[in-house]
Structure 1
Amino acid sequence: MAPRGRPAAAMPKRGGRKRLKFRADDVCSERVTVADYANSDPAVVKSGRVKKAVANALQQEVKSLCGLEASCVPAEEVLALAGDSCDSSDGLEPRESLSTRAASRKKKSKRHKESPDGGGGEEYPIDVWLLLASYIRPEDIVRFSLICKKAWTVTCTAAFWTRLYRRHYSLDACLPLRLRPEAMAKLRCLRACVIRSLYHMYEPFASRLASSPALPDTTPSTLNNSRCLLFWCKKIQGNRQEAMWEFNFKFKKQSPRFKSKCCKGLQPPRQYEEVHTNPDQDCCLLQITTFNFIFVPIVMGMTFTLFSLGVSSDLRHRRVRLHFQDAPERRGRRPGPEQGLQVVLDPVHSVRLLDWWHPQYPFSPKA
């Protein structure tokens, strides 16, 4: 019981009506946030739907802006077309109903679904791409060929590689006989010869070779399961007028399995097959220099499975161990010492790995 002289306080009823946070008379576009829409972040709006107070307030605002036509449209359709009504011009089409706009919007979306690739682009002739290719740097050729199919076709032509060679050729360049201008008239292996000549004449490519190590850290993984195509050794003169021996192993790198599937439909045109012919493609040369002659058995035709570089027995030089097998090794299985053929070179003066585009890589007789 309440004390005398004081009115009893009214107890609040449960489930009573809640006051709306938004009102129709004070709602404007600046107070509508991204979190009020259905496609907002679910972490901000747990329900994922527009609040009823916001929907009613926006409906009243659209009614006051659009006139009587908007009063016959449900609130959900008004919210869906609110963006279209705001982007429209200042009353140029006042009689156009929102339902007509919704129908045209559905037709547009249907057209976009039918043509997902989009037909708005223009297709330029191949002469335009050949003209643009005259201004492409050698290091940007791959990016240029990925623009479209015609740009890639231009990089397959003999005219493209001939112009690239003439653009960077200089009279003071010291080139082998096969890379001189009179020998570039041959179409066979033209692309490979131009790439090799760029490592003689083009400064960014030459500096790249000078800064790269003679034996990269990825050599064991690069030469794994490579096939030995050729082996020879020769006697050379050392720095201190001492006779040294150079052992050369020419390997054919194992191409990835996915390469044939991806590049199956990107073969050069038939008229330019000779331009892209390269007998040394995916080949490299392992060059090992020793202080004295070491007998090496015949390893041509065998698969290279192990490369080990350690310290020599005199602790002053290096020691190289090579392992060959008749068949490629399986994944996760290392060859045992009793399997295959093992070659040990000790002591070793230097070890280098040369790719087919290196200036000191020997030319193939088929080039």
Structure 2
Amino acid sequence: MPKKGNRKRLKFKAGDVCSESVTVADYADADPAVVKSGRVKKAVANAVEKEVKLLCGLEASQGAVQEVVSSVASVTADALDSNDDLEPEDDGESETKAAHKKKNKRRKESSEFSDGHEYPVDIWLVLSAYIRPEDVCRFALICKNAWTVTCTAAFWTRLYRRHYRIDADLPLRLQPDSVDKMRCLRARVIRSLFHLYEPFDLRVSKIPALPESTPTALLNSKCLLFWVRKVTGTRPEALWEFNFKFVKEEVRGKNGYTKSLRRPSRYEDVHANPDSDCYILQVTTLNFIFTPVVMGMTLTLFTINVSTDMRHHRVRLVFQDSPLHRGKKRGDQGGTQVVLDPVQSVKLMDWWHPQYPSSPYT
């Protein structure tokens, strides 16, 4: 606020009486640019009070009620307009100082409300013992220290021990002895939760064998590995499983990458996962079908149609040497084609799926 010495005094005369009448609408429709604060200033209030005292002493013949009201309105309007009539040489410096003071006051108030309290990592580690597996992401988004806790080996070890059951049917790679290793700890705990944690187990059972988004989700995916396995079951003839291991390979522009928090280097082994962003496409056929080598190539087309015998499916895969860019048509022509017919079943499994083939590193 400006200093008292720099403020220009507002003087009002009792003879400044206007004959025009003032209504309530004049105040309701007042220009907000003129009346910024929405409150009558102290100097104006004192001048109005003085004017009313003087007019109340007059006789009824000397002044009408409308003139009294007009006088009050005139004084108020003149006081509001007087801010624009101030000389710049007197108020220029005071206005600058007032603006700086208001700015500093706003900064101080905002800093008081925005700083908050920063709790140590140990407190967040204690709270993490009560977090459900499906709420790990929400917990990590609270603050940086909470996110740091989810990077530690202690967090994932406690999460595993909290849901482990002795009677659970776990693969050998997910037994407690294997989980005690630091390498790929997070990946092993997540995989084990789909065996131990009932909500995750139910989630897997509700996933259809082949989701509707599978053909489009596999586009521009690179084939890392391909193998064929003979399966013997209740049927007199054997079935054949064609397994394609894909990794997501998105085509991004120059500014397509986003900055992310860099986890502490001492926890890199905990978060290591060779199968990250990988999934298996498993196609089961009634007989063996010769297929060309497609490892290292990119899938550009995937279709599922009805087989010629009208009882099974027909799967067609087209691979190219390079991925398709956005806006270009799919590679129906050219490339390497893999046609599987007749097909009994098609499955798409993410790296955390219980039926995902085990890796020697995880």
Structure 2 length as normaliser, TM-score? 0.73
Decide whether the 8 Å contact of 2:242 with 2:283 is kept in 1: yes
Q: 1:251·1:284 contact (CA, 8 Å) conserved in 2?
A: yes
Tell me the C-alpha RMSD between the 2 structures.
Answer: 3.7
Partner of 2:131: 136
SS in structure 2 of the partner of residue 262 of structure 1: coil
Q: Name the aligned partner's letter for residue 203 of structure 2.
A: R
Q: Report what 1:20 is aligned to.
A: 22
Is contact 1:255–1:282 with CA below 8 Å preserved after alignment?
Answer: no
Contact kept in structure 1, 2:316 and 2:337, CA below 8 Å: yes
Structure 1: any 5+ residue segments left out of the alignment? Answer: 1-16, 39-48, 79-99
| 8 Å CA contact retained: 2:251, 2:325 | no
Residue type of the alignment partner of 1:220 = P
Alignment CA distance shift 1:348-1:117 (3 Å): farther
CA contact (8 A) 2:318 2:331 kept: no
| Residue 296 of structure 2 corresponds to residue 301 of structure 1 | yes
Instruction: Flag as ranges the 4+ runs of structure 1 deviating above 6 A.
Output: 103-106, 114-117
Query: What SS is found at the alignment partner of 2:347?
Result: strand
Per-residue deviation, 1:220: 2.2
Query: Taking structure 1 as reference, are residues 336 and 137 closer, same or farther at Cα in structure 2, changes over 3 Å only?
Result: closer
* Cα distance in 1, alignment partners of residues 79 and 138 from structure 2: 52
SS in 1 for 2:257: helix
Normalized per residue, the structure richer in helix is: 2
Q: CA, structure 1 residues 23+130, in 2 after alignment: closer, same or farther (shift >3 Å)?
A: same
Cα 1:163/1:108, change in 2 over 3 Å = farther
Checking the alignment, whether the CA contact within 8 Å between 1:174 and 1:200 is kept in structure 2 is yes
**Hey, what does 1:261 align to over in structure 2?**
257
Whether 2:276 is the aligned partner of 1:274: answer: no
What's the secondary structure of 1:308's corresponding residue? strand
Per the TM alignment, residue 20 of structure 1 is displaced from its structure 2 partner at its CA by 3.5
Distance in 1, Cα, partners of 2:81 & 2:132 = 56
Q: Distance in 2 between matches of 1:238 and 1:340?
A: 35
Percent identity at matched positions?
A: 54
Q: CA deviation at 1:37?
A: 7.6
The residue matched to 1:345 in structure 2 has which SS? strand
Are 2:190 and 1:177 equivalent residues in the alignment?
A: no
User: Any idea what SS the aligned residue of 1:273 has?
Assistant: helix
Q: Look up the SS of the partner of 1:346 in the other structure.
A: strand
In structure 1, the partner of 2:115 is 120
Give the Cα separation in 1 of the matches to 2:295 and 2:209. 24
Q: CA deviation at 1:246?
A: 0.8
Give 1:147 deviation, angstroms.
1.2
The answer on 1:107 being equivalent to 2:89 is no
- The 1-side partners of 2:178 and 2:25 are apart by 85
Change (3 A) 1:109 1:226: same
Return closer, same or farther for 1:347/1:150 CA change in 2, 3 Å cut-off. same
More contact order relative to length (CA 8 Å, sep ≥ 6): 2
Number of residue equivalences? 306
Q: Would the alpha carbon gap of residues 216 and 77 (structure 1) be closer, same or farther in structure 2, given more than 3 Å must change? A: farther
Within the candidate set 353, 358, 361, 2:348 is matched to 353
| Distance apart, 1:333 and its partner CA | 3.0
How far 1:335 moved relative to its partner?
5.0
**Shift of residue 281, structure 1, vs aligned partner:** 0.5
Contact residue 322 and residue 343 of structure 1 kept, 8 A? yes
SS of residue matched to 1:307? strand
Q: Is the 8 A contact 2:301 2:332 kept in 1?
A: no
Deviation readout 1:311-362 (Å, 9 max, x if unpaired): 1111111110000111222333335555210010111111010000000001
Counterpart-to-counterpart distance in 1, 2:170 and 2:178: 11
Q: CA deviation at 1:217?
A: 1.8
Please give the secondary structure, in 2, of the residue aligned with 1:123.
coil
Q: 1:123 to 1:342 in 2, by over 3 A?
A: same
